[in-house]
Amino acid sequence: MTDIADKDWSRSEGDSWDIVSSVGFTALGVAAARAVENRQTEPLVRDPYAEHFVRAAGEPNLIGLLDSPEPQAPNPGTTPRHIGLRSRFFDEFFVNATNSGCGQAVILAAGLDVRAHRLPWPEGTKVFELDQPQVLEFKDRVLAEHGAAPTSDRREIAVDLRDDWPAALLAAGFDPDVPTAWSAEGLIIYLPSAAQDLLFERVVALSAPGSQVAVEATRGRPDIAKWGAMQKKYADESHPMSKVDITSLFYDEERADVAEWFAARGWTVQGADALELAATYGVEIPELPEDVIEVVKQGNYVTAILPS
Protein backbone atom coordinates (compact mmCIF):
# COMPACT_ATOMS: atom_id res chain seq x y z
CA MET A 1 0.00 0.00 0.00
CA THR A 2 1.45 3.38 -1.02
CA ASP A 3 2.04 5.57 2.02
CA ILE A 4 -0.41 8.48 2.14
CA ALA A 5 2.47 10.96 2.13
CA ASP A 6 3.37 9.71 -1.39
CA LYS A 7 -0.16 9.52 -2.80
CA ASP A 8 -1.50 11.65 -5.61
CA TRP A 9 -4.40 13.68 -4.20
CA SER A 10 -5.22 15.51 -7.42
CA ARG A 11 -8.72 15.24 -8.89
CA SER A 12 -10.06 14.69 -12.39
CA GLU A 13 -13.44 14.50 -14.10
CA GLY A 14 -15.19 11.18 -13.37
CA ASP A 15 -12.44 9.97 -11.01
CA SER A 16 -13.19 7.05 -8.69
CA TRP A 17 -11.58 5.64 -5.57
CA ASP A 18 -11.45 2.85 -3.03
CA ILE A 19 -11.45 3.28 0.73
CA VAL A 20 -7.72 4.00 1.03
CA SER A 21 -7.31 6.43 -1.86
CA SER A 22 -8.34 9.95 -2.85
CA VAL A 23 -11.74 11.00 -1.45
CA GLY A 24 -12.32 7.44 -0.20
CA PHE A 25 -9.51 7.92 2.29
CA THR A 26 -11.35 10.87 3.82
CA ALA A 27 -14.31 8.58 4.61
CA LEU A 28 -11.90 6.30 6.46
CA GLY A 29 -10.30 9.30 8.19
CA VAL A 30 -13.71 10.44 9.41
CA ALA A 31 -14.41 6.91 10.70
CA ALA A 32 -11.10 7.05 12.60
CA ALA A 33 -12.13 10.38 14.12
CA ARG A 34 -15.46 8.88 15.21
CA ALA A 35 -13.60 5.93 16.74
CA VAL A 36 -11.48 8.41 18.71
CA GLU A 37 -14.58 10.39 19.74
CA ASN A 38 -16.07 7.12 21.05
CA ARG A 39 -13.36 7.14 23.70
CA GLN A 40 -14.35 10.48 25.21
CA THR A 41 -15.95 10.27 28.64
CA GLU A 42 -19.10 11.74 27.16
CA PRO A 43 -18.87 11.05 23.42
CA LEU A 44 -20.81 13.22 21.00
CA VAL A 45 -21.35 10.16 18.84
CA ARG A 46 -21.35 6.46 19.69
CA ASP A 47 -20.34 4.55 16.60
CA PRO A 48 -19.78 0.83 17.25
CA TYR A 49 -18.37 0.12 13.78
CA ALA A 50 -15.95 3.01 13.23
CA GLU A 51 -12.96 1.21 14.69
CA HIS A 52 -13.80 -2.01 12.80
CA PHE A 53 -13.69 -0.10 9.50
CA VAL A 54 -10.30 1.41 10.24
CA ARG A 55 -8.76 -1.90 11.29
CA ALA A 56 -10.30 -3.77 8.33
CA ALA A 57 -8.92 -1.27 5.81
CA GLY A 58 -5.42 -1.96 7.13
CA GLU A 59 -4.17 1.57 6.42
CA PRO A 60 -1.22 1.83 8.83
CA ASN A 61 -1.36 5.59 9.48
CA LEU A 62 -4.98 5.51 10.61
CA ILE A 63 -4.49 2.33 12.61
CA GLY A 64 -1.60 4.17 14.29
CA LEU A 65 -3.98 6.95 15.17
CA LEU A 66 -6.27 4.48 16.95
CA ASP A 67 -3.38 2.91 18.78
CA SER A 68 -1.80 6.18 19.89
CA PRO A 69 -2.73 6.88 23.49
CA GLU A 70 -3.62 10.53 22.93
CA PRO A 71 -4.38 11.19 19.27
CA GLN A 72 -4.07 14.86 18.39
CA ALA A 73 -6.29 16.88 16.08
CA PRO A 74 -4.61 17.22 12.65
CA ASN A 75 -4.35 20.94 13.20
CA PRO A 76 -6.34 23.55 15.06
CA GLY A 77 -7.80 24.66 11.71
CA THR A 78 -10.49 22.21 12.60
CA THR A 79 -12.14 22.67 15.95
CA PRO A 80 -11.10 20.07 18.50
CA ARG A 81 -13.74 17.32 18.51
CA HIS A 82 -15.18 18.76 15.30
CA ILE A 83 -16.13 15.35 13.84
CA GLY A 84 -18.02 14.62 17.06
CA LEU A 85 -19.82 17.96 16.80
CA ARG A 86 -20.57 17.41 13.13
CA SER A 87 -21.88 13.87 13.74
CA ARG A 88 -24.10 15.06 16.55
CA PHE A 89 -25.50 17.84 14.34
CA PHE A 90 -26.51 15.39 11.58
CA ASP A 91 -27.76 12.79 14.09
CA GLU A 92 -30.08 15.35 15.68
CA PHE A 93 -31.18 16.56 12.26
CA PHE A 94 -32.27 13.08 11.17
CA VAL A 95 -33.97 12.20 14.46
CA ASN A 96 -35.90 15.48 14.49
CA ALA A 97 -36.79 15.43 10.79
CA THR A 98 -38.03 11.83 10.76
CA ASN A 99 -40.06 12.44 13.92
CA SER A 100 -41.70 15.48 12.36
CA GLY A 101 -43.03 14.07 9.13
CA CYS A 102 -40.10 12.99 6.94
CA GLY A 103 -40.82 9.35 6.08
CA GLN A 104 -37.56 8.68 4.26
CA ALA A 105 -33.94 9.80 4.53
CA VAL A 106 -31.27 10.19 1.86
CA ILE A 107 -27.64 10.30 2.93
CA LEU A 108 -25.67 11.78 0.04
CA ALA A 109 -22.05 10.54 0.22
CA ALA A 110 -22.71 8.20 3.14
CA GLY A 111 -19.13 6.95 3.31
CA LEU A 112 -18.72 4.82 6.45
CA ASP A 113 -21.55 6.57 8.25
CA VAL A 114 -23.66 3.93 10.04
CA ARG A 115 -26.67 6.04 10.97
CA ALA A 116 -28.89 3.51 9.20
CA HIS A 117 -27.69 1.04 11.84
CA ARG A 118 -27.48 3.16 14.95
CA LEU A 119 -30.18 5.88 15.01
CA PRO A 120 -33.63 5.27 16.51
CA TRP A 121 -35.54 5.66 13.22
CA PRO A 122 -39.34 5.64 13.32
CA GLU A 123 -40.65 2.21 12.27
CA GLY A 124 -40.41 1.66 8.51
CA THR A 125 -38.21 4.66 7.68
CA LYS A 126 -36.38 4.08 4.41
CA VAL A 127 -32.75 5.23 4.59
CA PHE A 128 -30.97 5.53 1.26
CA GLU A 129 -27.17 5.62 1.32
CA LEU A 130 -25.43 6.93 -1.78
CA ASP A 131 -21.70 6.70 -2.42
CA GLN A 132 -19.19 5.29 -4.87
CA PRO A 133 -19.29 1.50 -5.46
CA GLN A 134 -15.96 0.54 -3.89
CA VAL A 135 -16.69 2.55 -0.75
CA LEU A 136 -20.05 0.80 -0.25
CA GLU A 137 -18.61 -2.64 -1.08
CA PHE A 138 -15.98 -2.21 1.63
CA LYS A 139 -18.57 -0.94 4.10
CA ASP A 140 -20.91 -3.87 3.44
CA ARG A 141 -18.17 -6.43 3.82
CA VAL A 142 -17.16 -5.08 7.25
CA LEU A 143 -20.74 -4.69 8.45
CA ALA A 144 -21.50 -8.28 7.37
CA GLU A 145 -18.38 -9.57 9.14
CA HIS A 146 -19.69 -8.02 12.35
CA GLY A 147 -23.30 -9.17 11.89
CA ALA A 148 -24.58 -5.58 11.83
CA ALA A 149 -28.36 -5.22 11.62
CA PRO A 150 -29.88 -1.91 10.46
CA THR A 151 -32.41 -0.03 12.61
CA SER A 152 -34.05 1.24 9.41
CA ASP A 153 -35.14 -0.01 6.01
CA ARG A 154 -31.65 0.58 4.60
CA ARG A 155 -31.08 0.77 0.85
CA GLU A 156 -27.68 1.32 -0.69
CA ILE A 157 -27.12 3.00 -4.00
CA ALA A 158 -23.69 2.66 -5.55
CA VAL A 159 -23.42 5.69 -7.77
CA ASP A 160 -21.31 8.72 -8.53
CA LEU A 161 -23.04 11.88 -7.35
CA ARG A 162 -21.92 13.68 -10.51
CA ASP A 163 -23.97 11.13 -12.52
CA ASP A 164 -27.73 10.53 -12.78
CA TRP A 165 -28.29 9.47 -9.17
CA PRO A 166 -32.00 10.49 -9.08
CA ALA A 167 -32.82 7.67 -11.52
CA ALA A 168 -30.99 5.18 -9.29
CA LEU A 169 -32.72 6.58 -6.20
CA LEU A 170 -36.18 6.25 -7.74
CA ALA A 171 -35.36 2.72 -8.92
CA ALA A 172 -34.41 1.83 -5.32
CA GLY A 173 -37.87 2.78 -4.02
CA PHE A 174 -37.57 6.49 -3.21
CA ASP A 175 -41.00 8.16 -3.24
CA PRO A 176 -40.89 11.83 -4.33
CA ASP A 177 -44.36 12.40 -2.81
CA VAL A 178 -43.11 11.62 0.71
CA PRO A 179 -41.27 14.39 2.63
CA THR A 180 -37.57 13.55 2.80
CA ALA A 181 -34.68 14.29 5.16
CA TRP A 182 -31.54 14.83 3.06
CA SER A 183 -27.96 15.20 4.22
CA ALA A 184 -24.69 16.25 2.60
CA GLU A 185 -22.03 15.82 5.29
CA GLY A 186 -18.40 16.24 4.23
CA LEU A 187 -19.39 16.29 0.59
CA ILE A 188 -19.68 19.54 -1.31
CA ILE A 189 -16.04 20.56 -1.10
CA TYR A 190 -15.25 17.39 -3.11
CA LEU A 191 -17.60 18.48 -5.90
CA PRO A 192 -16.94 21.08 -8.57
CA SER A 193 -19.16 24.12 -8.16
CA ALA A 194 -21.41 23.17 -11.12
CA ALA A 195 -21.87 19.66 -9.67
CA GLN A 196 -22.87 21.20 -6.33
CA ASP A 197 -25.55 23.29 -8.06
CA LEU A 198 -26.83 20.29 -10.00
CA LEU A 199 -26.87 18.15 -6.83
CA PHE A 200 -29.07 20.63 -4.98
CA GLU A 201 -31.29 21.31 -7.99
CA ARG A 202 -32.00 17.57 -8.05
CA VAL A 203 -32.63 17.53 -4.29
CA VAL A 204 -35.16 20.35 -4.70
CA ALA A 205 -36.83 18.61 -7.67
CA LEU A 206 -37.28 15.43 -5.61
CA SER A 207 -38.47 17.16 -2.41
CA ALA A 208 -42.12 17.03 -1.39
CA PRO A 209 -43.34 19.91 0.84
CA GLY A 210 -42.12 19.37 4.42
CA SER A 211 -38.77 17.99 3.24
CA GLN A 212 -35.63 19.04 5.09
CA VAL A 213 -31.97 19.20 4.20
CA ALA A 214 -28.80 19.45 6.30
CA VAL A 215 -25.51 20.45 4.70
CA GLU A 216 -21.98 20.99 5.90
CA ALA A 217 -21.10 24.17 4.04
CA THR A 218 -19.24 27.44 4.36
CA ARG A 219 -20.32 31.05 4.57
CA GLY A 220 -19.26 32.38 1.20
CA ARG A 221 -16.45 30.89 -0.86
CA PRO A 222 -14.28 28.44 1.10
CA ASP A 223 -10.75 29.81 1.29
CA ILE A 224 -8.88 26.60 0.38
CA ALA A 225 -5.50 28.31 0.08
CA LYS A 226 -5.89 29.64 3.60
CA TRP A 227 -7.01 26.23 4.90
CA GLY A 228 -3.91 24.71 3.30
CA ALA A 229 -1.69 27.35 4.90
CA MET A 230 -3.30 26.69 8.28
CA GLN A 231 -2.83 22.97 7.81
CA LYS A 232 0.91 23.60 7.33
CA LYS A 233 1.20 26.22 10.08
CA TYR A 234 -0.38 24.10 12.80
CA ALA A 235 0.35 20.61 11.46
CA ASP A 236 0.98 17.80 13.87
CA GLU A 237 3.13 15.73 11.50
CA SER A 238 2.31 12.55 13.38
CA HIS A 239 -1.37 12.88 12.45
CA PRO A 240 -2.30 11.05 9.22
CA MET A 241 -4.76 13.69 8.05
CA SER A 242 -1.96 16.28 8.02
CA LYS A 243 -0.45 14.29 5.10
CA VAL A 244 -3.54 14.70 2.92
CA ASP A 245 -3.06 17.48 0.38
CA ILE A 246 -6.39 19.25 0.78
CA THR A 247 -5.43 21.94 -1.73
CA SER A 248 -5.51 19.21 -4.43
CA LEU A 249 -8.39 17.12 -3.09
CA PHE A 250 -10.88 19.98 -2.58
CA TYR A 251 -12.32 21.97 -5.48
CA ASP A 252 -11.13 25.53 -5.09
CA GLU A 253 -13.85 27.32 -7.03
CA GLU A 254 -16.30 30.14 -6.61
CA ARG A 255 -19.46 28.32 -5.47
CA ALA A 256 -22.96 29.09 -4.30
CA ASP A 257 -23.48 29.88 -0.63
CA VAL A 258 -25.71 26.94 0.37
CA ALA A 259 -27.77 28.88 2.94
CA GLU A 260 -28.49 31.68 0.46
CA TRP A 261 -29.16 29.17 -2.33
CA PHE A 262 -31.91 27.34 -0.41
CA ALA A 263 -33.35 30.57 1.04
CA ALA A 264 -33.70 31.96 -2.50
CA ARG A 265 -35.83 28.92 -3.37
CA GLY A 266 -38.28 29.44 -0.51
CA TRP A 267 -36.74 27.09 2.05
CA THR A 268 -36.53 28.24 5.68
CA VAL A 269 -32.85 28.26 6.53
CA GLN A 270 -30.74 28.20 9.68
CA GLY A 271 -26.98 27.98 10.11
CA ALA A 272 -24.40 27.51 12.86
CA ASP A 273 -20.62 27.23 12.96
CA ALA A 274 -18.78 24.57 14.95
CA LEU A 275 -18.21 26.88 17.93
CA GLU A 276 -21.93 27.58 18.08
CA LEU A 277 -22.63 23.83 17.88
CA ALA A 278 -20.16 23.26 20.74
CA ALA A 279 -22.01 25.85 22.86
CA THR A 280 -25.36 24.21 22.04
CA TYR A 281 -24.08 20.74 22.99
CA GLY A 282 -22.28 22.00 26.12
CA VAL A 283 -18.81 21.05 24.84
CA GLU A 284 -15.93 23.11 26.14
CA ILE A 285 -13.44 24.04 23.41
CA PRO A 286 -9.97 25.14 24.49
CA GLU A 287 -8.99 28.70 23.61
CA LEU A 288 -8.03 28.90 19.93
CA PRO A 289 -5.72 31.32 18.07
CA GLU A 290 -7.46 34.20 16.27
CA ASP A 291 -6.61 32.91 12.77
CA VAL A 292 -8.05 29.51 13.67
CA ILE A 293 -11.26 31.05 14.97
CA GLU A 294 -11.58 32.98 11.72
CA VAL A 295 -11.43 29.74 9.69
CA VAL A 296 -13.78 27.85 12.02
CA LYS A 297 -16.33 30.65 11.74
CA GLN A 298 -16.34 30.24 7.95
CA GLY A 299 -17.97 26.85 8.45
CA ASN A 300 -21.74 26.68 8.31
CA TYR A 301 -23.90 23.75 9.35
CA VAL A 302 -27.03 24.55 7.41
CA THR A 303 -30.54 23.19 7.83
CA ALA A 304 -33.28 24.13 5.40
CA ILE A 305 -36.96 23.20 5.48
CA LEU A 306 -39.39 23.35 2.57
CA PRO A 307 -42.63 24.65 4.12
CA SER A 308 -45.60 22.26 3.89
- The footprint of ligand SAM (CB under 6 A) covers 23-24, 26-27, 30, 109-113, 131-132, 135, 160-162, 185-187, 190
Dihedral, CA of residue 156, residue 158, residue 159 and residue 165, to nearest 10 = -30
Q: What's CA 51's distance to the chain center, in Å?
A: 17
Quote the least distance from Cβ 246 to ligand SAM, whole Å: 11
Residue 199 or 304: which CB sits closer to ligand SAM?
Answer: 199
CB of 132 to ligand SAM, least distance (A): 5
CA distances from 127 to 45, 81, 130, 148 (A): 19, 26, 10, 15
Give the residue among 256, 274, 266 at the shortest CA–CA distance from 305.
Answer: 266
**CB of residue 31 vs ligand SAM: minimum separation in angstroms?**
7
- Determine the Cα–Cα distance for residues 71 and 231; give it in Å rounded to an integer: 17
The rounded distance, in Å, linking the Cα atoms of 105 and 121 is 10
Residue 17 or residue 234: which is nearer to ligand SAM going by CB? 17
> What phi and psi values does residue 33 have, to the nearest 5 degrees?
-65, -40
Least distance in Å: CB of 136 to ligand SAM?
9
Give the C-alpha separation, 261 to 197, whole Å: 9
User: What 3-state class would DSSP assign to 218?
Assistant: strand
| Contact of 4 with 21, CB cutoff 8 Å | no
- From the CB of 228, what's the least distance to ligand SAM, in Å? 17
Nearer to ligand SAM, 194 or 264 (CB): 194
Closer CB to ligand SAM, 26 or 75, in the complex: 26
Nearer to ligand SAM, 110 or 217 (CB): 110
Q: Which residue is nearest to ligand SAM (CB)?
A: 111
For residues 126 and 102, give the distance between their C-alpha atoms in angstroms, rounded to a whole number. Answer: 10
- Pick 186 or 210: Cβ nearer ligand SAM: 186
Please, what is the minimum distance in Å from the beta carbon of residue 183 to ligand SAM?
A: 8
